[in-house]
Amino acid sequence: MAERPTALVVGATRGIGAQVARGLARAGYDLALTGRAPEALAPVAAECGAWGAQVSTHLLEVTDVQRIPEVVAEAWEARGGLGLAVLVAGVIEAERPLWEVDPAELRRVIEVNTTAPMLLVHALAPRMIAAGGGRIVNLNSGSGTRASEVYPAYSASKAALSRITGSTTLAGAPHGLLAFDLAPGVVRTDMTGGMPMHEGRTDWTEPEEVVELVLALGSGDLDAWAGRMVRAGADAVETLQEAADQLAPADRTLVLQPYGPEDPLA
């Protein structure tokens, strides 16, 4: 019997993280799931177990920097290794200009959305490299690719996350370690449902579209997109595969746009 694939899902108690966990379980993965509350993790773990997955649960507040390497070690041991990690946990600040947001709120967004995944990669990468490789999917956002008058910390955190993804891939690819940015589109969750900018929205991204891309990224079918962003609701696995041969080095990455060929930064 073929060995079952294994995955870590960080932030699996609700929303996109829970949907990803269920989708991976249905696809035959054994799982390590993290969350802040055991009572929230338990029902997701039970659902995944009903699909035949072996599931371990690990309590993690991602701002607890001492706990992050401990959880990675626990999850790795529980599953006998991790071939895939999907880092979902994220928060957003109030919909206001930077100077109208409480500094503590700004700081928490950076800690959760940027510092935590950076430290998770820091803990995961050596283990994955020693095991022959692995894939890390960072839940990113189109908000990180452009400036906005509101959500400055969220946008900054996701732009920084893209650099973590790209740097991980450049350093890790020779050792079999790849990282990807996955923008989920606009899935109806507690977070998006509470954002004024989405009030009245009817064109939500289906969670199944996110799961489809996670599965393709985890399987290696989209390895050509390592270090780059893919977006649920806009990208399909087949079209991404077809476009893979056309990719230029900077495609789907954050770059500085020169003002013309005479720009000294071009």
CB burial string 81-106: b at 16+ within 10 A, e below: bbbbbbbbbbbbbebeeeeebeeeeb
Instruction: HSE, CB side, 13 Å, CA atoms: give it for residue 204.
Output: 14
Please provide the DSSP assignment of 98-122 as one string. GGGS-HHHHHHHHIIIIIHHHHHHH
List the catalytic residue out of 29, 151, 154, 259: 154
154 catalytically annotated: yes
Counting beta carbons within 10 angstroms of the beta carbon of residue 32, is it exposed (0 to 12), middle (13 to 18) or buried (19 or more)? buried
Which residue spans within the chain are E strands per DSSP?
A: 6-10, 30-35, 55-59, 84-87, 134-139, 177-183, 229-231
Query: Residue 67, Cα to own-chain centre: how many angstroms?
Result: 19
Alpha-carbon torsion (140, 182, 70, 56), positive or negative:
positive
Residues noted as catalytic: 154
